[in-house]
Each structure stands twice: as C-alpha cells, then as structure tokens.
Amino acid sequence: MPIATPKQYRQMLDSAQKGGYAYPAINITSLTTANGALKAFADSNSDGIIQLSSGGGQFASGLAVNDAAFGSIVLAEAVHRLAEKYDVLIALHTDHCHPGKVDSFLRPLLDESKRRKENGQGPLFQSHMLDASELPLEENMALSVKIMKECVDLDIILEVEAGVVGGEEDGHDTSGLPAEKLYTTPEDMMTVYETLNPLGRFMFAATFGNVHGSYKPGSVKLTPTILRDGQKAVMDKHGEEAEMDLVFHGGSGSSIDELRETLDYGVIKMNIDTDTQYAFTRPVVTHICENIEGVLKIEEEVGNKKVYDPRSYLKKAEQSLCDRLKRACDDLLSTGKSIYQS
C-alpha cells in the first residue's frame, strides 16, 4: 500500500479516536530503521506513523551534506516506495521543529509537498510538528496559525505543543525548566482549541509531566487526568465533536496502566524513540562482544568477514527494533486494527 492519502490519514485518526487506541509514531534515521518499522506494523496488522526529527534527517543526509531537510526528503521518498510492499497504512510525520528551525527544516519540506501537489501527487508528509512551546502561549499560537494555514493548503495536519515535554532527546532539551512548565492547563487547552479549530484539523501534544529520555519503569510521575480535565473543559463548551486528537511524547518509564489511561482521554499518537534506539543497538553490542576476534583484526590477523560485514549485525538490529515496536502496538491497542482494505 502506498503511503496513506490525506483522506486515509484522517480516517486513521478517526478510527483510533473512536476505537480507544493510539498509533506508535517511531522516529527513523536510516533505511534499516525504516524497514524495521514497516515490518513491525505489517506483522502487527497495525497502521502506523513513521517520523523524522531534524537530527534524524541531518544524519540521513550524510556527513558531507549535513542537511536536515534534504535527508528527511530522501528518507521520506524511500519510505513512500517501500510502503508499497506492505498491506497496512503508513503516515509520515516530522517531530519537534522549534521556531528557530522553521525556515531551515519545516518550510523546505512544505515546499517539497507543494511541488508534489502541483505534479498531481499527494504531500510528502501527512503531518508535521511545530513545537513553539518555548514561546509564551500567545506567540506560540500566532506562529502555529501561520504554519497551520500553510499546512491546510497542502492537505497536511499540523501537530502543536503547549506546555513543555521535559528532558532531552535529539536536540530537544528542556531539562532546565521549572516543573510547572511540564503541565498543560485546561485554559491552555481551551486556547489551543479555539485558536486552531476554525482553521482545520490539528493534533495537540498537551503535557502532563511526561519527559523525553530513558527512565526506569515507575520513575516518571505522570498526571494523565490533566488530559481528561482539559478535554472536558473544551467539550463542555463546544460539544462532543470538539474532542482533540492528543499526542503523548516521552513515554519511556511509564507504566502500561498510565499509557492506556491516556487513550481514554483522546491520545491517538504516541511517540517512540528512546526504547527503539536501545532495541536497535542492543543486538549490535551482543554481536560485537560475541565475535570480537572476528570483528577486529587482532595482531595482524585477517578477521572474519562474515561477522564484520555490517549486514550481519544490522539485520539483528532491524529485527530487534521490529520486535520492540510490535510490543508498542500491543501496549497502545493498535494491533490487529488496520483499516486498510486490499
């Protein structure tokens, strides 16, 4: 199946909202991680979201090019082709883009989607994230409105953030901010809804104590009821149809009960990166340790090409990432719920 059309993407989000489940949204940095993600969604019969950060795009472009937007375009185009081989729907998304990177990262991607649309194709990405949470809410919304209008013209959904996801990951570092910044208020959620809803559909990364990075289970103190209370305030004023599509960032260290509680409050997308990074790297370490004499040319020996061939360990890494993402599909209840009809 080719990448989801804008209409199919909206149907995916509708299905998750009505069905009480969420899509894992996995960050990729290479063809190997992309293939692992595609295999996981297909094995799970789950539709899913594959996303790129500016750092991931920069890495994908190579050391000589070092261009986040260009690398993201290259990988996105590859995923468009690879997705044709799978019988699930896949959407492409970009992760945190801060105000200072709008012109260098987000706008070139919008320009590429505009070029594709002019050629009779769908947009390159189905959604983008503008993370202007570092700004006061009024300035955040002003910039969000400006970018959302551009996205709406291209049939692209914009994800925004109000409140701040804590921790540090892939260039997103909010570790020095005070704790109260980690919690979105019902008033914030009302402002976001009333500002953006007149323009079209959007996704909202409201924050409830969640943090980026790696943590032991139970060590992250979440308050999912913040999402419940904010949604209730909005729906009490604007009706049941005003329920927002919420996004959960920073899920590492959260209990399964906390993850699933957020589904009751409108979370339809949960980002996953730290856990799949570890899942990818762990078998590589094991392979190197178990085959150290073959991997290294020790004391002028020739080594063993079969074990230092990158394919020998990257296949293991791809499968391990796949297995971890399948677990995320189970945790978020998307397994077996693809809406794709062959």
pLDDT digits 0-9 by tens, 133-177: 989 999 999 999 999 999 999 999 999 999 765 444 455 444 454
Residue type, 252: S
Enumerate the active-site residues. Answer: 95
The DSSP line for 64-94 is TT--HHHHHHHHHHHHHHHGGGSSS-EEEEE
Decide yes or no: CATH 3.20.20.70 for domain 6-331: yes
Predicted local distance difference test score (pLDDT) of residue 208: 84
In the three-class reduction of DSSP (H, G, I as helix; E, B as strand; rest coil), residue 173 is classed as: strand
Could you write out the three-class secondary structure of 269-317? EEEECHHHHHHHHHHHHHHHHHCHHHHCCHHHCCCCHHHHCHHHHHHHH
Asked which of 21-30, 110-119, 256-265 is least confident by mean pLDDT, the reply is 256-265
Dihedral angle sign, alpha carbons of residues 34, 261, 212, 330: negative
User: In the predicted model, what is the mean pLDDT of the chain?
Assistant: 92
* Helix H or strand E encompassing 323: helix 310-331
Q: Which residue has the higher pLDDT, 239 or 208?
A: 239
